Structure 1
Amino acid sequence: MVSIGDDKVATSHVDSEPYHSEDGEENVFISEKEGMTADRRDMARMGKRQETRRNFHHITILGFTMVILSTWEAQLATAVYALGNGGTGGLIWGYLIVMIGFGFIVASLAEMASMAPTSGGQYHWVSEFAPRSCQRFLSFIVGWLGILGWGTAAATVTYLAGNQIQGLIILNKASYTPKSWHGTMLIWAILLVCLLFNTFFSRKLPLVEGIIVVLHVAGFFAVMVTLWVMADRAPADTVFKVFTDNMGWGNIQLSVMVGLVGAASCFVGVEAGAHMAEEVRDAAYVVPRAMMWTWVGNGLMGWVMAITFCFCVTDTLAVLITPLGVPFMQVFLNATGSKGGATGLTCLMLIIGIFGCVAVLATASRQLFAFARDKGIPFSNFFAMISPTYEIPLNAIYVTVTLVVILSLINIGSSVAFMQVVSLGVAAMLTTYTISIGCVALKRIRGEPLLPSKFNLGKWGLPINIISLIFIVFIYIFSFFPSAPHPTVESMNWAVLGYGCVILFAVVYYLIRGRHNYLGPVEYVRKGQ
């Protein structure tokens, strides 16, 4: 059975007091560099050398994962998709369906994160659990899709934060005329902040994210209470029972299903803690529980905020076409009746959003670093280099920032086209989830032994894996749909093009060079045993 409540990783670990793991082995703190003896054993089994510092504890990594997901903030920022496709009823019940579905996904990923606590995440798990005949190729493809997914996630969160800044300028300066290039410059400014906290202040990152998670929780109550006290509220029957097809699909059910992608984007990336595993003490125990608590805590806050938001949307069309460009800001303005009030609530969300960007950049760079360490990309030695001064993958951070800068140029041509990056990231990450969970499910079906886990799903493992796969395939299909029927060239969802190009490039690179250089993490595991 799964147990996520009893946190054995007590403060005593830091004080070097021993405790015994479930298998009877003593687990004591070694150093900030190596973490616990269990961490050393896990790294040795996986054939990896400890290069980064394990400065995240159970509380700080939970804060990191809570902030990186920021579900209630993300739900407000992406509510426009569900309001357009499904209305308030579709937003509320669609979000709940997605949250429940992702619960099975998170549990499946958390179990693998405990079996193999490494920054590689999904591509490493595929390498260890896939059938030997295809493990190298599948792992290689998943590695590339992981880089794509986290790279586009960094671009998405910086864009949303920049969009909020533009909305604030419009709100407080009526003469301002927003330009696309303004948005791109704001993305670059936010990236600069993220770069500073991921380099010069990298050792303070656990503390910073720990402080921000307090703001994340306090901000939730500040926004919710303000809206409930000050806003005009729509009738409950209208909020919960009315489903609308504002985009003209001609079918309410189809419209609601298209709107689910917005809710899914609030949960994609929930495995972020796994990519930071090599910087967490007692990672095999702590990381999976941080993932589960992040899903529960953020998920419930997101659903309560979705209900609150929908009660305050008395005129859906007016919110969707707001001149502020940010629907939730219009709701804040309507609720408080003052620019100052709307500005204050938005600034609260903006601060959380920016530090969410900091965490996303950190995670994306660790994914790139890990894949480069296993020789999965060109110039691997450069990307896998650890700075001796900061003890972080500095080159991987710089390259991730450069990727986001390049993607942000799309916004100059079309903000609509740039927002398709959301669908691209969702599709890429869902693919990595599908393949990794599918590999574990196949081993269970074949009756093959799995690695020891401190988060064991036990007899429920196979049903949970299967439900996860069914749900992922369902969301995956709609991630490639346009937001409205009969799209123009500009409004078409081009995510499938970017997704296909990355897979095509990965396949070609694998055939030409990758199959000669990339052995897959499992080969290092075998050598290390």
Structure 2
Amino acid sequence: MAKMESRTTVEAHSGAEAGLADPGDMQLLAKMGYKQELRRQYSTVQIFGVAFSIMGLVNSIASTLAFSLPAGPAGMVWGWFTASILIFTVGLSMADMASAMPTAGGLYWWTHYFAGDKYKKVLSFLVGYSNTMGLIGGICSLDYTLALMILSCVSIARDGEWSASNGTIYGAYVGLIVIHAVCSVYAGKIMPKIQTFSIFMNIAIMIATVIALPVGKVTNGGSLNSGKWVYSHVENLTTWPTGWSFVLAFLAPIWSIGFFDSCVHMSEEALHAARAVPLGIIWSSGCACVLGFMIISIIAAVMNPDVSATANTIFGQPMAQVYYDALGKKGALGFMGVLIVIQFLIGLSLLVAASRQVWAFSRDGALPFSSYLRHVSKRVRYQPVRAIVGLVAVCIIFGLLCLINSVAANALFSLFVASNYVAWGTPILCRIIWGKTRFHPGEFYTGILSRPIAIVAVTWLVFGLILSMFPSTGPNPSAQEMNYTIVINGFVWLAAMGYYFLFARKWYTGPKMTIDAPSSVGSVSGEGVEKEKSLNGHDS
């Protein structure tokens, strides 16, 4: 062990000389078996900015408003309030582990570390694939929504007399994906500053929305809805019972507050990761809880009292109708234009974070073409360029669902939610069951409340996973109204497990050490395997 600690110190010193990281961060990463390969350049605020930018509260609320509108204003407001608090417990549980063990592949790494010996490999493999596919689904859904937002502006400009064909939507989607890829590769040097800029943009659009909507509504001769109507009026535009329709409004925050794990994937580029990553997680999820409630309340106060008119808008986006009703055509176009810029930044940040998960999983040899995808380009500021390119190729293929219909395209949303909920819940559950003696707190720790919070978080994730599989319109959906979450995600999970038991179990050993093998993701030496067992089984 003394030899290993000595080697760790040497690795840290050499990496520090190369300008990649501070020795302290490198030593903590080395204890988990990895050498420093990416450049650490993100401050605590910028790590928070990654998650806060990806959530993009106003944009996310605009994208998911259709899921909470059927329950009326009370369902929108209190559905957000209730679900966001429960989601915050997930963030707290994740922050505990992220502070103790900050690595880009955190979710599957923690699963392997905490799980019982019989289940380590298979569960970490499932979590890694589920998390990767969830992030891919997130990229697809974000850029699909961005394409719809851009095209809805054309529809508003033409007074609703034009609507985009599926081919036009797919063309816009592909173009946006490619632009994001080019920007993420060549803007790597300024990406931390872009995250800071995104924070200010998101705050600006929130302030503008909560001020301009009510002022515009009153100025244009309208009146605000009463507080009683906003906070107590329940409707039911579905064929579900009213109580369950209210619960289904939880889907809006479930889909909106969903990317605080991006902080984890940026761990190996964070300065003082043991502090920056957990703070980024809890700040972003906490802000979503409080600020989201405020934004939803304002929207409910200015929206058309005829909820169905907003839900069935001709513009294709209920939020576009809210802006149109309160601010008129020019005001709606102005706000939608700003939302488009922010949505673009959201997609850019998510692609960067997702590429780090793909890179980390490839570093451990789990993905097809791992030896290709795990390459880090030293010419482009130590970035996993090939992982970015691979992600873009997969997203373009998945985006072909846009050519079928909107129902098929919405399956991209379900891929993101269900896959990520499995990826988030599994390591937390493994820690509850097996991690009593294995967990050693980092700089951030919720103390005596850590275990109760983890139990609440897992319970919520199981409930949210089941909820995401319900058809939103009613118990007897048509083919167009059916929720295909179980089909899409079931295929992903079964395919991952089939791949594991048929092939990967023969060579996948879990996280691999790169301290002793700087340029290889293949087999680890016997000495390295023993060290890996020690690292993943006893030492954090």
| TM-score, length basis structure 2 | 0.89
Asked if the contact 1:156/1:421 (under 8 Å) is kept, the reply is yes
Is residue 107 from structure 1 mapped to residue 92 from structure 2 by the alignment?
A: yes
Rounded to whole Å, the distance in 1 between the matches of 2:56 and 2:90 is: 18
Q: Which of 298, 301, 317 in structure 2 is aligned with 1:308?
A: 298
Is residue 257 from structure 1 mapped to residue 243 from structure 2 by the alignment?
A: no
Matches within 5 A, 1:334-373: 334-337=325-328, 339-373=329-363
Q: Which of 232, 235, 243 in structure 1 is aligned with 2:226?
A: 235
Q: Secondary structure at the match of 2:171?
A: helix
Rounded to whole Å, the distance in 2 between the matches of 1:295 and 1:507 is: 31
Rounded to whole Å, the distance in 2 between the matches of 1:471 and 1:306 is: 22
2:103 corresponds in structure 1 to: 118
1:298, CA displacement in angstroms? 2.9
Structure 1 residues 482-502: Cα deviation after superposition (integer angstroms, max 9, x where no partner): 121221122211111111111
Letter in 2 for 1:395: R
1:404, CA displacement in angstroms? 1.4
- Alpha carbons of 1:31 and 1:78: their partners in 2 closer, same or farther (altered >3 Å)? farther
1:11 corresponds in structure 2 to: none
Rounded to whole Å, the distance in 1 between the matches of 2:199 and 2:451 is: 34
1:133 corresponds in structure 2 to: 118
Deviation beyond 6 Å, 4+ runs, structure 1: none
2:488 corresponds in structure 1 to: 498
2:444 corresponds in structure 1 to: 455
Structure 1 residues 396-446: Cα deviation after superposition (integer angstroms, max 9, x where no partner): 1111111211121111111122112212211111111111110111235xx
Q: Percent identity?
A: 25
Q: Secondary structure at the match of 1:245?
A: coil
Q: Secondary structure at the match of 1:409?
A: helix
Is residue 163 from structure 1 mapped to residue 148 from structure 2 by the alignment?
A: yes
1:527, CA displacement in angstroms? 6.2
Q: Secondary structure at the match of 2:186?
A: coil
Rounded to whole Å, the distance in 2 between the matches of 1:116 and 1:307 is: 38
1:287, CA displacement in angstroms? 0.6
Q: Which has the larger displacement, 148-157 or 492-501? A: 492-501
Q: Which of 489, 504, 510 in structure 1 is aligned with 2:500?
A: 510
Q: Secondary structure at the match of 1:491?
A: coil
1:380 corresponds in structure 2 to: 370
Matches within 5 A, 1:120-199: 120-174=105-159, 175-199=161-185
Letter in 1 for 2:489: Y
Q: Which of 463, 481, 487 in structure 2 is aligned with 1:474?
A: 463
1:171, CA displacement in angstroms? 0.7
1:412 corresponds in structure 2 to: 403
- Alpha carbons of 1:213 and 1:31: their partners in 2 closer, same or farther (altered >3 Å)? farther
1:223, CA displacement in angstroms? 1.3
Letter in 2 for 1:504: L
1:50, CA displacement in angstroms? 1.2
1:296 corresponds in structure 2 to: 286
Structure 1 residues 498-527: Cα deviation after superposition (integer angstroms, max 9, x where no partner): 111111111111112211221112766446
1:30, CA displacement in angstroms? 3.9
How large is the RMSD of aligned CA atoms in angstroms?
Answer: 1.8
1:260, CA displacement in angstroms? 1.1
Structure 1 residues 330-355: Cα deviation after superposition (integer angstroms, max 9, x where no partner): 11111012x21111111111111110
Asked if the contact 1:33/1:52 (under 8 Å) is kept, the reply is no
1:52 corresponds in structure 2 to: 38
Letter in 2 for 1:394: V
1:202, CA displacement in angstroms? 1.4
Rounded to whole Å, the distance in 1 between the matches of 2:173 and 2:440 is: 42
Asked if the contact 2:51/2:259 (under 8 Å) is kept, the reply is no
Structure 1 residues 441-498: Cα deviation after superposition (integer angstroms, max 9, x where no partner): 1235xx4241341112221111001111111111111101112122112221111111
Rounded to whole Å, the distance in 1 between the matches of 2:412 and 2:264 is: 23
Runs of at least 5 residues in structure 2 that lack an aligned partner in the other structure:
1-12, 218-222, 513-528
Structure 1 residues 104-152: Cα deviation after superposition (integer angstroms, max 9, x where no partner): 1000001111111111021111011111221111000001101110000
Q: Which has the larger displacement, 110-119 or 296-305? A: 296-305
Letter in 2 for 1:246: L
Q: Which has the larger displacement, 263-272 or 142-151? A: 263-272
Asked if the contact 2:375/2:384 (under 8 Å) is kept, the reply is yes
Rounded to whole Å, the distance in 1 between the matches of 2:152 and 2:163 is: 11
Q: Which has the larger displacement, 134-143 or 408-417? A: 408-417
Matched positions, count? 498
Rounded to whole Å, the distance in 2 between the matches of 1:313 and 1:32 is: 56
Matches within 5 A, 1:89-104: 89-104=74-89
Q: Secondary structure at the match of 2:121?
A: helix
Rounded to whole Å, the distance in 2 between the matches of 1:56 and 1:345 is: 30
Rounded to whole Å, the distance in 2 between the matches of 1:207 and 1:448 is: 40
| TM-score, length basis structure 1 | 0.91
Q: Secondary structure at the match of 1:244?
A: coil
Rounded to whole Å, the distance in 2 between the matches of 1:489 and 1:235 is: 38
2:3 corresponds in structure 1 to: none
Rounded to whole Å, the distance in 1 between the matches of 2:194 and 2:163 is: 35
1:36, CA displacement in angstroms? 2.2
Letter in 2 for 1:408: G
1:32, CA displacement in angstroms? 7.6
Rounded to whole Å, the distance in 1 between the matches of 2:171 and 2:331 is: 26
Rounded to whole Å, the distance in 2 between the matches of 1:167 and 1:32 is: 48
Rounded to whole Å, the distance in 2 between the matches of 1:199 and 1:104 is: 34
Q: Which has the larger displacement, 165-174 or 416-425? A: 416-425
Q: Secondary structure at the match of 1:269?
A: coil
Structure 1 residues 154-185: Cα deviation after superposition (integer angstroms, max 9, x where no partner): 01111111111011000112453321111111
Rounded to whole Å, the distance in 2 between the matches of 1:525 and 1:41 is: 16
1:393, CA displacement in angstroms? 1.1
Letter in 2 for 1:360: L
Letter in 2 for 1:484: T
